[in-house]
Structure 1
């Protein structure tokens, strides 16, 4: 972490500029007088700051507001096309890329298959090449690429930009941000856990805008969790808070890729369908289930396959007890369920919610809201882009910190 800057007039001026541009950015459209009222800065100070932002094309005037009398105020808008970012999501078998503007609006999407066992330098070269091609195809110059955000699984050191350990990917101590930045003219690269990236999207564009304390629980190929306390993601001592999937569900249970046995992820993610399905398949000679993917088992359950129905029922029960434990331990206001597994929520969610609602707090008539997210699958990538965007607009309080105004 860079050291804190010393207080000075220049720092105060810079801080005021960031307060103003972030207010305009988050407001959509707003007048100078409203910016003055909200920030409690004088109108002359606001005019001076806005003129400076307009001179570099970060802010522009976009018409006038309605008025009950007198001169109608001119509205200001942040220029989201001032620059661009790329959001990257690294999965087990593919990498997803999204080119976005500075509002995290997705302009283009691409997908690239990859082998996680490849040499890491080859993987980085592939990612860098796809980013260059993404910009080229969108006719955007590299000079306008202002940052890259990466969402990945595992234990992440955000400050150092390192994947400390990802058992899903089989990577350890990979300085991914540095390696990628070196291949892209030292463009800033930021990284976080995939579920935290999605939670960023919830905080900015989803139900998280109106919530202070909530959980995002990701259900799919794995099982992840992000904890928001007072509108900020809680990271814990070493950045690993939220390893919900690696709480132990059953002593001596199924081996987990993390090295433990009986992890919740082995009982409430796609892993469970294979683990349990393989165990009991012989008892269901008429089943048509073969690979035990979420998609295949779900379609089987919808078509009346007895093995698939049993698997989805027990899957829902396991997930329900996991959510119950999360409620008992963390007492959140709301739990938002996300992830590719939620495409099949009609097969397991009611069972899970019924179990989770009978928690410690329910006896005191304190209920936790449990509901699927209203955001779409592209929010993984919007959240990844926000990792870069939020750094661009952070207050310049640290030495050598890079932002959009310096």
Structure 2
């Protein structure tokens, strides 16, 4: 820690403000996504110092492949380190994470069931401490600490990409629930007996507003989806800018489903702030934020709607790895507070 200024008190000595010294040490953040594994070496203010990126082919999300990419990426960024101490590695995963030393992962999108990722990585990366959490949770914490959520006491940070999730902030802290699965907003039902979701259920929000779900609905409506060599992100961007009647109808429906989903969160949790983040979320927010807010108004109770503000995430579309690094910083700061 280092001094960041002083605040005069009503009497006695002024209060000294402290902040994390970004040059004190490094941390590693790891984003395991649908299409990639991203590993970043960061300072304590989450500025990227070195990075490594590995593509994941469709269907190649087996634990062995993911672990090898993580280990290779950590070794790569450590080789570029300037010799300052590295406090640990944080890993952001899709799905549910059972907290504890084993950090057991349940990720239906990957076909993972009870994979002890924390234990596996701790053994492979020893003596580097490893912390694992859900990607939406880590993204939410990063926005809460360093981004659009700063200062909010009750907020929702939505993460919309291939998958759909959220972080619920209650009284300034992330709400995790009884088994740490709170925030699985993408698997709330918006259409009874609706589209089949990859989780195995039907009518999930993710099946309508997740990137694959939007493109699948466009394809089913007769639209042409050419993934080519540019991938899902480029295809979604092309769809959002497509002036054709079919494209407009699908995007309008997506906005309405998203508004209904936000209304559920608004009615349940009464946040003061909703942050729209994730690469697909930012694509939608940058083009249709006013329409998203209007759709939310149509499906929500009037009183809580009057007191909520919508903003796009401010940390950019590819910051889940930075969010993962907050796990290490949080552990470091907790240890600092406990040190006499």
TM-score, length basis structure 1: 0.74
Counterpart CA distance in 1 for 2:295 and 2:173 is 28
- The residue that corresponds to 1:386 in the other structure is 326
- The residue that corresponds to 2:285 in the other structure is 345
Q: Kindly tell me: are residues 36 and 149 of structure 1, through their superposed partners in 2, closer, same or farther at Cα, counting changes over 3 Å?
A: farther
Using the TM superposition, give the Cα deviation of residue 303 of structure 1 relative to its aligned residue in structure 2, in angstroms. Answer: 4.3
Using the TM superposition, give the Cα deviation of residue 122 of structure 1 relative to its aligned residue in structure 2, in angstroms. Answer: 4.4
Counterpart CA distance in 2 for 1:370 and 1:166 is 29
Gaps of 5+ in 1: 1-20, 40-74, 282-286, 398-402
Q: Spell out, residue by residue over 1:51-75, the C-alpha distance to the aligned partner (whole angstroms, 9 max, x if none).
A: xxxxxxxxxxxxxxxxxxxxxxxx9
Is residue 125 from structure 1 mapped to residue 77 from structure 2 by the alignment? no
Using the TM superposition, give the Cα deviation of residue 365 of structure 1 relative to its aligned residue in structure 2, in angstroms. Answer: 7.4
Q: After alignment, is 157-166 or 104-113 more displaced? A: 157-166
Q: Is the 8 A contact 2:259 2:296 kept in 1?
A: yes
Counterpart CA distance in 1 for 2:266 and 2:213 is 22
Q: Spell out, residue by residue over 1:75-117, the C-alpha distance to the aligned partner (whole angstroms, 9 max, x if none).
A: 9875433321110000112101110122322212221113564
Of residues 6, 26, 49 in structure 2, which corresponds to 1:84?
26
- The residue that corresponds to 1:16 in the other structure is none
- The residue that corresponds to 1:101 in the other structure is 43
Using the TM superposition, give the Cα deviation of residue 395 of structure 1 relative to its aligned residue in structure 2, in angstroms. Answer: 4.4
Q: Is the 8 A contact 1:117 1:170 kept in 2?
A: no
Of residues 326, 330, 339 in structure 1, which corresponds to 2:269?
330
Counterpart CA distance in 2 for 1:187 and 1:364 is 45
- The residue that corresponds to 2:176 in the other structure is 235
- The residue that corresponds to 1:219 in the other structure is 160
Counterpart CA distance in 2 for 1:36 and 1:316 is 54
Using the TM superposition, give the Cα deviation of residue 324 of structure 1 relative to its aligned residue in structure 2, in angstroms. Answer: 1.1
Using the TM superposition, give the Cα deviation of residue 31 of structure 1 relative to its aligned residue in structure 2, in angstroms. Answer: 6.1
Q: Kindly tell me: are residues 351 and 132 of structure 1, through their superposed partners in 2, closer, same or farther at Cα, counting changes over 3 Å?
A: same
Q: Spell out, residue by residue over 1:227-259, the C-alpha distance to the aligned partner (whole angstroms, 9 max, x if none).
A: 001110000000000110101111111111112
Is residue 134 from structure 1 mapped to residue 77 from structure 2 by the alignment? yes
Q: Is the 8 A contact 1:89 1:96 kept in 2?
A: yes
Gaps of 5+ in 2: none
Q: Spell out, residue by residue over 1:114-141, the C-alpha distance to the aligned partner (whole angstroms, 9 max, x if none).
A: 3564652443233112211111133437
Higher Rg: 1
Q: Kindly tell me: are residues 307 and 193 of structure 1, through their superposed partners in 2, closer, same or farther at Cα, counting changes over 3 Å?
A: same
Of residues 135, 138, 143 in structure 2, which corresponds to 1:194?
135
Counterpart CA distance in 2 for 1:118 and 1:244 is 23
Provide the alpha-carbon RMSD of the alignment.
Answer: 2.9
